[in-house]
Structure 1
Amino acid sequence: MKTNTYISFLLFTLLLTVSSVNSVFSQSKSDKFVVVLDAGHGGHDPGNLGNGYKEKNIALNIVLEVGKELEKNKDIEVIYTRKTDVFLKLRERAAIANKADADLFVSVHCNAFTNSAHGTETFVLGLHANEQNFNIAKKENEVIFLEDDYEKHYEGFDPNSPESLIGLTLMQEEFLDQSIQLASYIETNFTGKLNRKSRGVKQAGFWVLHNTYMPSVLIETGFLTYKPEGAYLNSGKGQHEMSMAIKDAILHYKNNLDSKVGDSFQPEILNESIANAIKTTEIPDVYEGITFKIQIAASSRNIVTKPYNFKGLDPISKEQIGNLYKYYFGDTSDYNVAKRYKDEADAKGYNGCFIVAFKNGELIPLANVLKTSSN
């Protein structure tokens, strides 16, 4: 009963927070692509001290170099949560990004463990998939205990409680695809360009990600507790290489949005569940109450939904989610027609497009629709 009451309170609080998002999004936004860079820890919070190295210094050095490189692009505005060795509260970091109406929030950290674990990890917000992910998030979230007034500002949030993570995923749900996409670019660069070991893109309940209203990632650049990796991250060479890899990933993400080509990242697990549903189900032609569309693009630009802007495809519709616009081709309740729409979009060059489903105007998981037909 106590847990249910707490969860109800947390969800109610989050709903109140959601109601304030409209005022955040209604702020005047510059034409520039705004990136907020967050160097973890700082001041009297050194972060982890594996092998005598200081996480707060390494994270700051990497962030400053990423920002310096991004600032060379005239259409990008960079905002730093900190540029010096100062302590910032978690809520202040998120507030800086929200006030700036940012397009991206990127937080940089270094990892630690008791054994020889090593490798990079990039996190997006989500319920911890395993105990290890939960422990990493718990470690980063526990910085709130360094704040004198944390009880007043974190609304009963307890880093040690899995129940506290339940509500955290709600605010970032709309941006999960974009966050995963950026995270995948970052990890790909770490392995492909730097030959670093990648532990993958993961989900965990980081408070600082939950409270931002834009695609957000938290990068663990490696383990200071693993001697070779700690020495690399503490070196000028290592910090420069990691910075360039992160910078290139951000530019790739931005260019992908601006290209108007829909290669939005689809998590493999989702594609797998859809594929399994299709294999095991005889798909009927028409799904009553369901509208299928083809998502062909996701962009920060508000584009007129005319065929000439989308290689002749018609009809085109769009929806706005924060600073992001999603563009759809087609409108049908017949799944077979939707597949033909997808083939048509593929032929026009939108080879990253995919089928989505709506019910009463709300986006719902396609896998759920297909599985329902088999019941």
Structure 2
Amino acid sequence: MGRLFQILFIFAALTCQYTGAEAKDFVLVIDAGHGGHDYGAVGDKTNEKSINLSVALKFGRLVKQHHKDVKVVYTRDGDYFKTLQQRAEIANKASGDLFVSIHTNSVDKRNKNRRKIKGTATYTLGLHRSAENLDVAKRENAVMMLEDDFTATYQGFDPNSTESYIIFELSQNKHMDQSIDFASKVQSEMVSTAGRHDNGVRQAGFWVLAKTGMPAVLVELDFICNPVSERFLGSEKGQTKFAKAIYNAFTSYKTAYDHSSGGRPVSGGDAPLFTDDDSDDEDDDMTDDIACNDGELRYRIQILASDVKLKSGSSQFKGLNNVDNYYDGGLYKYTVGDYTSMDEALRELKKVRSKHHEAFVITMRDGKRVK
């Protein structure tokens, strides 16, 4: 009997080794929004579809270069049209582990702040908690109306009807935690690496996110309707910085994924991270338009969010000073520091990230976050 157990033990060990060797690559699906006859948002000199594709391909190349165990799948790798449904089907067929949809933002021509509004926002699927979030979702979902008989393909969904979005409010996304985690990392990198204004992690009803069976985010890089932002969006330097920012977020996310997957090699350990190495670039509009009254604005470093209030002596705060919190979107959000300038906050951010990799800088006024 002892000999039998020994044989079974050896067989189990060999089986585990074989299984580990055959572990599938991490599949990253990169979705460049719009394409072909669908230009997306249009600026004075360029258009959304071209910006999205350039950033997507640059991001994909960085991942391929530094993460050998990652398979990159593009929903489009050229200037051609793919429907929202086709994009989701490509991701699902590839058994994706993460879906990143890249877009460029804009607002209606009647908006009086059209040429001043700016900043990056990263969306996950969920309730659109503001009219602004709903407007973004409507604009991105409206691409389905370019298709023949889109109501049949999208089961009667009308992207311009507020009532249609009830389906997203009823949707339970089992990947929500991972999606929010990655979205937070993207936002942090957009500030520290790409030098963008932080418009926060948001939730809204995007069809392409709802139909992908994996953690998924939609990144709105910046506002093409703002001439300063458009210049950055359309430049080689700007697009490279966007790609590096999303790549850094992916590397951080992938490293945590490897640690939690048990037995997988941690690929992120050898992958380089990029920083904003050209802070004097005239297109890097780090200074907020709203900051003309500089004395009212403060900058803090957000380290985590929780649905329950943590005790002041929590281990999460070990080694940190000046910890504070604010309540927003149903969560207690914890910050450290209180800085008068973004530059000062960004310098401290590098230190804080040694303990909290997902930390990012936020702007506060009168104890409330400015979004």
Aligned to 2:96: 102
Q: Structure 1 residues 260 and 351, CA, compared in 2 at 3 Å: closer, same or farther?
A: farther
The answer to whether 1:67 aligns with 2:101 is no
Supply the distance in 1 between the matched residues of 2:175 and 2:27 (Cα, whole angstroms). Answer: 16
Aligned to 2:24: 31
Supply the distance in 1 between the matched residues of 2:221 and 2:235 (Cα, whole angstroms). Answer: 13
* SS state at 1:251 partner: helix
Q: TM-score, normalised by structure 1?
A: 0.62
Number of matched pairs = 248
The answer to whether the Cα contact below 8 Å between 2:224 and 2:233 also exists between their aligned partners in 1 is yes
The answer to whether the Cα contact below 8 Å between 2:193 and 2:244 also exists between their aligned partners in 1 is no
Deviation per CA, 1:242-264: give whole Å up to 9, x if none: 001101111110101112399xx
Aligned to 2:140: 140
Shift of 1:127: 1.5
* SS state at 2:44 partner: helix
* SS state at 1:123 partner: strand
Equivalences for residues 296-375 of structure 1 within 5 A: none
The answer to whether the Cα contact below 8 Å between 2:64 and 2:71 also exists between their aligned partners in 1 is yes
The answer to whether 1:92 aligns with 2:92 is no
Deviation per CA, 1:211-267: give whole Å up to 9, x if none: 0000000000000101111000100000001001101111110101112399xx997
Shift of 1:195: 2.5
Equivalences for residues 111-150 of structure 1 within 5 A: 111-113=105-107, 114=111, 115=114, 116-150=116-150
Deviation per CA, 1:325-354: give whole Å up to 9, x if none: xxxxxxxxxxxxxxxxxxxxxxxxx999xx
Equivalences for residues 280-291 of structure 1 within 5 A: none
Unpaired runs of at least 5, structure 1: 1-28, 280-349, 353-375
Supply the distance in 2 between the matched residues of 1:351 and 1:266 (Cα, whole angstroms). Answer: 6
Q: Match for 1:174: what amino acid?
A: K
- Among the aligned pairs, what percent are the same residue? 43
Supply the distance in 2 between the matched residues of 1:226 and 1:266 (Cα, whole angstroms). Answer: 30
Shift of 1:193: 2.2
The answer to whether the Cα contact below 8 Å between 1:172 and 1:213 also exists between their aligned partners in 2 is no
Aligned-pair RMSD on alpha carbons? 2.5
Q: Structure 1 residues 351 and 43, CA, compared in 2 at 3 Å: closer, same or farther?
A: closer
Q: Match for 2:102: what amino acid?
A: V
Aligned to 2:33: 40
* SS state at 1:51 partner: coil
Deviation per CA, 1:292-327: give whole Å up to 9, x if none: xxxxxxxxxxxxxxxxxxxxxxxxxxxxxxxxxxxx
Shift of 1:161: 2.1
Aligned to 1:330: none
Shift of 1:275: 2.5
The answer to whether the Cα contact below 8 Å between 1:125 and 1:172 also exists between their aligned partners in 2 is no
Shift of 1:201: 0.3
Supply the distance in 2 between the matched residues of 1:238 and 1:82 (Cα, whole angstroms). Answer: 21
Supply the distance in 1 between the matched residues of 2:304 and 2:123 (Cα, whole angstroms). Answer: 14
Aligned to 1:206: 206
Aligned to 1:252: 252
Deviation per CA, 1:18-51: give whole Å up to 9, x if none: xxxxxxxxxxx96100000000000000001122
Unpaired runs of at least 5, structure 2: 1-21, 263-301, 313-354, 358-371
Q: Match for 2:95: what amino acid?
A: D
Supply the distance in 1 between the matched residues of 2:186 and 2:356 (Cα, whole angstroms). Answer: 22
The answer to whether the Cα contact below 8 Å between 2:53 and 2:77 also exists between their aligned partners in 1 is yes
Equivalences for residues 231-246 of structure 1 within 5 A: 231-246=231-246
Supply the distance in 1 between the matched residues of 2:356 and 2:238 (Cα, whole angstroms). Answer: 36
